[in-house]
Amino acid sequence: MTDPAVRLDPAVSLAGVTFRGPVFTASGCAAAGRELAPYLDLGTLGGVVTKSVMRAPRAGRPTPRMAETASGMLNSIGLQGPGIEAFLAGDLPWLAERGIAAVVSIAGHSAQEYGELARRLRGAPGLAMLEVNISCPNVESRGQVFACSAAGAADVMAAVRREIDVPVFAKLSPDVTDIVDIARSCVAAGADGLSVINTLLGVAIDTRTLRPVLSAVTGGLSGPAIKPVALRCVWQVHAALPTVPILGMGGIRSGLDALEFLLAGASAVSVGTAIFADPGAPARVQCELLTALAARGFGAVAEAVGVAHGLTAPREVVAYGDEL
Ligand code: RRO
């Protein structure tokens, strides 16, 4: 029998750019892709979303800055990175030379700094898209989490939009009263799409030392524990802005997890924390997702986007088998 997945076109289009597949690496979990290369063929994925790059090199926060929690992980990395010069000289060319689509994540302290980063990236070989990280929870002050303010988010997105032509996605935080309000503000300021979601702010306490586990005290929670929150955010944003493409992420470990995100309204997904236990996870998840889509009769990835919103009557439950 022919594998049904063979008939499914894996390509996805995000804001007019075509990517080879619907699964990307999530920012922060695979540096700029190079360290995952021994474990999977990065060229088969939609692309690599790089660790957020800033203007200057940064050591990040002191250790310990990672902690395992129930069904999740806390991190307080604090934007460690080589800075834009080294990134442009080494990381981006490495991806471009291999034909791997680069979605470059940028972060800054001010709208002006984001704009400057976008200007530096203009015309860079291999750059397919920008993910504007306005939602890192591990910055010096909550005032720097631009995604927590509709006006602050809009300032950053407008500054980036002015400088670059590639699609620009704003990465949103779930730690807000109304994520739709922030989403609308980003789109009105020029964002082509939205990455939903960044980590949730959390704390873990060591009951032996009687102190916080992370030296920074707070960190960003990721992994399966946050998947329902991420799906809720994707659902709300897609319901309010159905034509705006969403890159969905948060606790995806399997093709069926990824399928939930598509059905909630994401056009593509990123796999992050799962990489730490299984470095080949993005490729495996993509393969599982394509198989699951084909088994449900979809002829293209886009056909599944937002389908869960359209149900006016319960659908028949179909047994697809455990692996699908
Ligand atoms: O580097 C980090 O600490 C970090 C970033 Br930039 C982010 O966007 N989300 C996160 O959980 N950690």
**Domain spans of the chain, in order of start:** 4-61+78-201+223-309
Residue to mutate (ligand 1; options 54, 75, 134, 196; most atoms within 8 A of CB):
75
> pLDDT tens digit string along 134-168?
999 999 888 889 999 999 999 999 999 999 999 99
> pLDDT tens digit string along 72-112?
999 999 999 999 999 999 999 999 999 999 999 999 999 99
Residue 3: per-residue pLDDT: 54
pLDDT bucket at 2, cuts 50 / 70 / 90: very low
Residue to mutate (ligand 1; options 29, 138, 199; most atoms within 8 A of CB):
138
Residue 317: per-residue pLDDT: 73
Which of the four CATH numbers 3.30.70.1290, 3.20.20.70, 3.40.50.10490, 3.40.50.300 does domain 4-61+78-201+223-309 have? 3.20.20.70
Q: Would residue 287 show up in a list of annotated catalytic residues for this protein? A: no
Residue 130 CB partners (closer than 8 Å, separation 6+)? 103, 104, 105, 106, 118, 121, 160, 164, 166, 167, 168, 169
| Structure tokens belonging to residue 31 | 């540096």
Q: Is the CB of 52 under 6 A from ligand 1?
A: yes
Q: Is the CB of 42 under 6 A from ligand 1?
A: no
Nearest 5°: phi and psi at 100?
Answer: -95, 125
Q: Is the pTM of this model over 0.85?
A: yes
